[in-house]
């Protein structure tokens, strides 16, 4: 009999338990989103081909720098022109390679019921990652720890619209950088049974993630089933470095998808033009997508990017600007043109606290993302201060915003149209529908009722303590954490993971630098 590791559960029974069950929040994950609303396409067919042609001209005539000797040899064998670290890619070669990327795939979770599909109109929401600071349950900005990371993984597990626990939502400063990836990966695996991301901070770290995934899912299963995703950032303009390319090989060789993500600061590392920026970004993404197929033909891969425009007043990155929305629409069209899944960033903001600026920036980005048709919707919860901190309060509200966007993207529900319409003659002119049987049966599902927004009268709001949204969200986070139950994990697998971590921590010197050698 398989043994399972899980946190102890309290006994239930009696009136109080039944009442608690009725009023308890629902933690069931929403299925992966299948979008049904029309997409916003700001280019006509000729303009799409113009971007494609410009990108191919860049690849053929300007070239892309691959700062990695293995990648350079791989490209030579694939038939590309290589001069030093510059690789010149013929458009025919690029097209031949990227057509072997799956147009969609199933992303497997520890709980098979939480598997999700990526590609076409199939999308998922993934929390933010990489924050060096957090705003905690007291809304204090400070350095994070491993316990803080675990808190966000638990919240990710409990938020219905989040389909992943991601990986380093915040950086755990209480562990050495060289060994940190091991504890981050274990926390993602242990505290949630949704999908998760794998660290790509070095090729060696990526190999460790692959080994840990093999323990959790089985080596043979990984050969044919994507179980994690890794992000590989480009150095715009037109550079891929050794660290990212080595991590890319670690994932692709094991048939695990990578996000090929040019890092765009519009006007700083791209031209000061929306179409020209997209043309350069597209060339960068295509060069990496093509390389994934040089590594392993047929390996799943995702057209990625990180988009920001730069303030010409201060040089600071900006979020929620019109140009970012336009670029998302255009990149979505290009990804569909090539028939590959694509990633974008969601609910971004540069605000220093969870204030009106944070809300406006995030809402603007979220709406554009939903109408752009992105598949892998990353940074969907918590992002603030240009990614410098993850806000616990914003994490909660962002996740609910994703649930609202999910509902919108599903489109109108027509299943009970005739039944609902039959209520009109029942009520007649001047009546109301509140007591009608159809309303009583359907009011909880007919219209989304957000928990984090207060729509009561000012008098009721004052009587209940004048609680503003930050405090309301933090109270909700505390409630969720008090009700968290750790998902079951096979005891033997858990012990093998811990043994692996202990061995690797003995082998990797504790140091405040990335593990590149051990």
The pTM for the full model equals: 0.94
What is the 3 state secondary structure string of 192-260? Answer: CCCECEECCCCHHHHHHHHHHHHHHHCHHHHHHCCCCEEEEEEECCCEEEHHHHHHHHHHHHCCCCEEE
Q: What are the two backbone dihedrals, phi and then psi, of residue 420, each rounded to the nearest 5 degrees?
A: -65, -40
Handedness of CA 249, 252, 256, 258 (dihedral sign): positive
In a domain, 10, yes or no: no
User: At 455, phi and psi to the nearest 5?
Assistant: -115, 15
358 falls within a domain: yes
Low-confidence ranges of the chain (pLDDT < 70): 1-26
- Tokens standing for 107? 């992303």
Domain assignment present for residue 378? The answer is yes
Whether the Cβ atoms of residue 234 and residue 263 lie closer than 8 Å to each other: yes
Q: 291, 71 in Cβ contact below 8 A?
A: yes
Alpha helix ranges (H) inside 24-145: 45-57, 69-78, 91-98
d(CA 464, CA 148): 30
Closest CA to 402 of 380, 383, 382, 372: 380
Task: Give the range of the structural domain holding residue 353, as residue numbers without chain letter.
Answer: 33-411+450-518
User: Per the structure, how many domains does the chain have?
Assistant: 1
pLDDT value of position 27: 75
Residue 436 belongs to a domain: no
Residue 144 placed within a domain: yes
Give the per-residue pLDDT at 26.
63
How distant, in Å, are the alpha carbons of 92, 196, 275 from that of 52? 12, 32, 11
* 230 part of a folded domain: yes
Which residues fall within 8 angstroms of residue 268, CB to CB, at 6 or more apart? 310, 315
**At 81, is the secondary structure helix, strand, or coil?**
strand
> What confidence score (pLDDT) does residue 19 get?
46
Q: Is residue 430 part of a domain?
A: no
| 247 inside domain | yes
Tell me the three state secondary structure of residue 298: coil
Q: What angle do CA 442, 445, 447 make, to 5 degrees?
A: 105
Query: Domain containing 500 — which CATH number?
Result: 3.20.20.480
């Amino acid at each position: 009999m398989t043994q399972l590791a899980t946190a102890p559960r309290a006994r239930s029974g009696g009136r109080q338990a039944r009442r608690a069950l009725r009023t308890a929040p629902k933690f069931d994950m929403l299925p992966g989103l299948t979008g049904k609303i029309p997409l916003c396409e700001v280019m006509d067919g000729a303009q799409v081909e113009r971007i494609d042609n410009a990108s191919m001209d860049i690849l053929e005539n300007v070239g892309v720098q691959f700062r990695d000797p293995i990648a350079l040899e791989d490209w030579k064998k694939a038939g590309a022109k290589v001069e030093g670290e510059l690789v010149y890619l013929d458009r025919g070669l690029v097209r031949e390679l990227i057509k072997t990327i799956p147009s969609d795939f199933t992303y497997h979770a520890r709980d098979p019921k939480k598997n999700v599909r990526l590609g076409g109109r199939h999308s998922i929401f993934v929390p933010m990652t990489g924050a060096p600071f957090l705003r905690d349950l007291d809304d204090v900005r400070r350095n994070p720890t491993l316990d803080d990371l675990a808190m966000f993984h638990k919240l990710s597990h409990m938020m219905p619209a989040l389909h992943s626990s991601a990986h380093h939502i915040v950086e755990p400063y209480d562990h050495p950088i060289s060994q940190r990836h091991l504890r981050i990966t274990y926390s993602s695996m242990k505290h949630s049974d949704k999908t998760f991301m794998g660290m790509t901070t070095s090729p060696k770290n990526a190999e460790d993630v692959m080994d840990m995934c093999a323990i959790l899912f089985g080596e043979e299963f990984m050969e044919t089933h994507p179980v994690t995703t890794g992000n590989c950032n480009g150095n715009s303009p037109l550079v891929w470095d050794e660290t990212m390319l080595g991590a890319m090989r670690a994932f692709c060789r094991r048939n695990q998808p990578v996000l090929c993500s040019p890092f765009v600061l519009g006007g700083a590392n791209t031209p000061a033009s929306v179409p020209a920026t997209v043309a350069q970004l597209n060339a960068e993404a295509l060069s990496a997508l093509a390389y994934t197929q040089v590594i392993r033909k047929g390996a799943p891969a995702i057209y990625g990017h990180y988009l920001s425009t730069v303030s010409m007043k201060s040089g600071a990155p900006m979020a929620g600007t019109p140009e970012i929305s336009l670029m998302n629409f255009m990149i979505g069209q290009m990804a569909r043109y090539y028939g590959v899944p694509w990633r974008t960033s969601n609910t971004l903001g540069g605000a220093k606290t969870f204030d009106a600026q944070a809300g406006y920036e995030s809402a603007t980005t979220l709406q554009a993302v939903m109408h752009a048709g992105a598949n892998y919707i990353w940074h969907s919860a918590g992002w603030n201060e240009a990614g410098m901190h993850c806000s616990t309060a914003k994490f909660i509200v962002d996740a609910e915003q994703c649930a609202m966007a999910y509902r919108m993207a599903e489109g109108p529900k027509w299943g009970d149209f005739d039944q609902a319409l039959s209520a009109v003659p029942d009520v007649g002119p001047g009546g109301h529908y509140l007591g009608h049987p159809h309303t009583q049966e359907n009011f909880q599902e007919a219209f989304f009722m957000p928990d984090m927004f207060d729509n009561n009268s000012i008098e009721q709001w004052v009587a209940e303590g004048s609680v503003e949204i930050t405090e309301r969200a933090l109270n909700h986070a505390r409630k969720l954490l008090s009700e968290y139950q750790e998902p079951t994990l096979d005891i033997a697998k858990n012990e093998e993971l811990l043994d692996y971590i202990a061995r690797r921590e003995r082998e990797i010197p504790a140091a405040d630098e990335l593990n590149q050698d051990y």
